[in-house]
Amino acid sequence: MSPRKIPLIALALLTAATATAVVATGGPAQAAAGCRVDYATTSQWPGGFGASVSITNLGDPVTAWSLAFAFPSGQTITQLWNGAATQSGAAVTVRNAAWNGALSTNATTSFGFNGSGTGATPSSFALNGTTCTGSVPTSPPTTTPPTTTPPTTTPPTTTPPPAGTPVKIMALGDSITGSPGCWRALLWQKLPAAQVDFVGTLPAQGCGFTYDGENEGHGGFLAASVAEQNQLPAWLSASSPDVVLMHFGTNDVWSNIPATTILAAFTKLVGQMRTQNPAMKIIVAQIIPMNPSSCTECAQRVVTLNAAIPAWAASLTTTASPITVVDQWTGFDTTTDTYDGVHPSDAGNVKIAAKWYPAVAAAITR
């Protein structure tokens, strides 16, 4: 789907629905004592919308999940990331991706999607076949909780912090950066933990080990919309970052927003960063390739945007607030490094983290 450029939409028009789920125990590794589901409409345009869905496991660990809900107004999912969706009429079932099925107690995972149509948001959810009811049983489960598989990557040992204030790093973007954006976890592993503090209004999401994961990776968001609606200043004020990593524009490209419009949005965002912190260090990605089956033009649109980014950055960089460009496109293969032609796989996350590292390591050197 390639919707037209998104007009300014008052935040009051963005709707959100929240439900708390309880799932009965007794099944093999699929049951949990309870969960919470947060559904939010993140953007709207004529004939379509974007949404994010967050699932928090409040009970026993699970090794796989499926979430069922129904659209009340005939909406249809056209693109989904961080899961796999099937839809029959109004009924939708979203199952975990290969890498985000395991949820320990109090762990959160999420997925996002773009859809066609408009109307009310879903009001009821069922996790692993049980309708969400809004409470957690007080009695213990009747079956022994399954053993949680150890993470594939061993978390690094954290050394005591030295004197000095950690550098605050904000990762800004869309579902490439969040949902869950595990390249951030891998990048955090590479950096000296005592010297960095990843910040943002969104919490860490499951990547197999504990890490400093606050971020501003808003699934389904467009850079043009964030700039037009002036959403960034509030995020900046909430965490006061010293460094911003920006991988933004994937949804703009998908929506056929011209590169010139995307760069104009980048310019406004940079101005807002510098208003918050005149010495902001800004690291901007030439974004990873796109090759989804439903958007044959997206690959070339990414090339066009990326080709314009270095000159744009050079025109705005200053000594006090430098803009560094990181080429995330070269060497990234959508066949092996994404799971859907858009979103990074485990291999893709490793590549993205490795590309960010030199620029971030330089930026945190005071």
Residue 343 confidence (pLDDT):
96
CA 271 to CA 335: how far, in whole Å? 36
d(CA 66, CA 60): 15
Nearest to 244 by CA among 172, 322, 309, 173: 172
Per residue in 118-150, is it b (16+ CB within 10 Å) or e — as a string? eeebbeebbbbebebbeebeeeeeeeebeeeee
Residue in the block written with tokens 């028009």:
13
Written as one string, the DSSP assignment of 89-137 is: TTEEEEEE-TTS--B-TT-EEEEEEEEES-SPPP--EEETTEE--S---
Provide the whole-model pTM: 0.60
- In this prediction, residue 164 carries a pLDDT of 67
Nearest to 69 by CA among 38, 107, 26: 38
Residuewise pLDDT in 10s, the chain (366 residues): 333 333 332 323 333 333 333 333 333 335 456 778 888 887 777 778 878 787 887 878 888 888 899 999 889 998 777 778 899 899 999 988 766 788 777 777 777 787 888 878 898 888 887 777 765 555 444 444 444 444 444 433 333 334 469 999 999 999 999 988 999 999 999 999 899 999 999 999 878 888 999 999 999 999 999 999 999 999 999 999 999 999 999 999 999 999 999 999 999 999 999 999 999 999 999 999 999 999 999 999 999 999 999 999 999 999 999 999 999 999 999 999 999 999 999 999 999 999 999 999 999 986
3-state class (DSSP) for residue 81? strand
Q: How many residues does the chain have?
A: 366
**pLDDT (0 to 100) of residue 189:** 94
Q: Which two tokens stand for residue 110?
A: 């999420």
Confidence (pLDDT) at 135? 55
Distance CA 346, CA 338 (A): 8
